[in-house]
Structure 1
């Protein structure tokens, strides 16, 4: 759940659309109106002439919530362009081809052989509820099976990827005829998981299975922390599961944040204003993108 909600927009869009079962309605105990965190980054040194608004997102959200605020709308109006994590999700056929190419490999062990025996009953339970065949999962690399099952759990809560923050922002900037760019390609984003050592992939699968019993509560906690701008709670929730493994954290979070900071540094050395909308976990804690930019002399203001 936390993997999908804070890091990976692709699987939320791609795999949720592939799950055709209609789950029973779930009543979520979520905040209805909020003020998600928003920062303004500007230069303090010669050559730092651009401006970037940084908006932490959650990639899946309920339909009946109001996350827009006058402060956010003002930042959107002030921005010349939108920058998100990845583009290309509006072409699901191409995205599915990329996912299949990376996710499916010959000679995979059966999925239940890749997890501790104590978790196999729980694995069987979430496979049965996922509407994904065991044969399909067995052909997948471990990271892809883990994300597929996590996506299915999100679908089971009645969450619809079409109502994601990114999709709504994309539509707004397209209507305003403002350019849209991305920090990563689909291949690169999926590739971070594909290149994880098998040991880390199996920890990821175990984390998805272990969290499955409390999937609704986990989503509610994360969503409410995001809606209320509770950065400390987002840090706490994001530092669980697979990110407790130092190597995985370095690869999936820290290295990507450093790469994004480098890209934004170059963008800030040009005129113009950008709204950067990325998963909230990338913008909190000591490894946040803004922390690197602050070390490079930029002024960081939390404006919401």
Structure 2
């Protein structure tokens, strides 16, 4: 089973230990990127749908052409969530992601994963006193993020940061489809068995993170949602509970939000993780329940 890749693309804004800071990236030449963009519209409402990779290396030029035009035409930016201040993040994470009185995390894993888990955490400079109290889902997210950040991927280069800065500069409101607490709650809602399975599969995938994430970013930058779906969504087929909680249920809620927003005039730019806009059960698919159609913007 391969679950690590979807986690990388879906939840990269979570706070991590200082050791997870991105490596210093060399000066990069600018490379053109043309990620997929869709539009849902009627006579007086236009909603753009843009898929993101939450962290990127420097040097990808994506905020131009049709994406920039759509953003400039929009009055509001909508993200998965509006990131709270650091103090709030730490408070919420401490409450949701750690279980100080629970069974030590290593003991929750299958014995054949004990050594690999301890080594991965040591490599990330996360101490046993910290990781043994983590809930399994948070350990999985942490282990997914550590190598990606160390490879030079950084949320400072990600579309959410770029779009938020542009919206603030233009005086556009920025709103979230979910809250920070809600995103953590998505993981916390998984059964203990699914959480442990998530962590063990993440450990299996750690050696492949560089290649997997490179393929994912290349598909995104080339405007190939089918490639994004292959790397992210299809990897969840063997874990229907995780797929339902992390993707399908949320896609359904977001489609409902879009349908409600279509009742009011205006232009909105929605930017969410690219996996939500790719493959079966995507936001676009869910819009069909409301007789709405998302059309790909050609550029």
**What TM-score, normalized by structure 2, do the two folds share?**
0.91
RMSD, aligned CA: 2.2
User: Displacement, 1:21?
Assistant: 6.5
Equivalent residue in structure 2 for 1:169, among 149, 163, 167: 163
Q: Which runs of 5+ in 1 are unaligned?
A: none
2:8 corresponds in structure 1 to 5
User: Displacement, 1:122?
Assistant: 2.3
Equivalents in 2 of 1:84, 1:22: separation in Å?
A: 23
- What is the correspondence of 1:138-217 to structure 2 with a 5 Å cutoff? 138-217=132-211
Change (3 A) 1:23 1:7: closer
Q: Deviations for 1:214-272, whole angstroms, at most 9, x for unmatched residues?
A: 11111101111111111111111113555531111111111100001111111111000
Equivalents in 1 of 2:237, 2:76: separation in Å?
A: 32
1:66 corresponds in structure 2 to 61
Change (3 A) 1:134 1:241: farther
Equivalent residue in structure 2 for 1:239, among 233, 249, 254: 233
Aligned residues: 294
Change (3 A) 1:241 1:288: closer
Paired residue secondary structure (1:181): strand
Paired residue secondary structure (1:39): strand
Change (3 A) 1:86 1:124: same
Equivalents in 2 of 1:57, 1:23: separation in Å?
A: 19
Q: Which runs of 5+ in 2 are unaligned?
A: none
Equivalents in 1 of 2:259, 2:251: separation in Å?
A: 12
2:120 corresponds in structure 1 to 126
Deviating more after overlay: 119-128 vs 189-198: 119-128
Equivalents in 2 of 1:22, 1:146: separation in Å?
A: 17
Deviating more after overlay: 96-105 vs 147-156: 147-156
Paired residue secondary structure (1:278): strand
Maintained 8 Å contact 2:233/2:278: no
Equivalents in 1 of 2:57, 2:273: separation in Å?
A: 16
Change (3 A) 1:24 1:250: closer
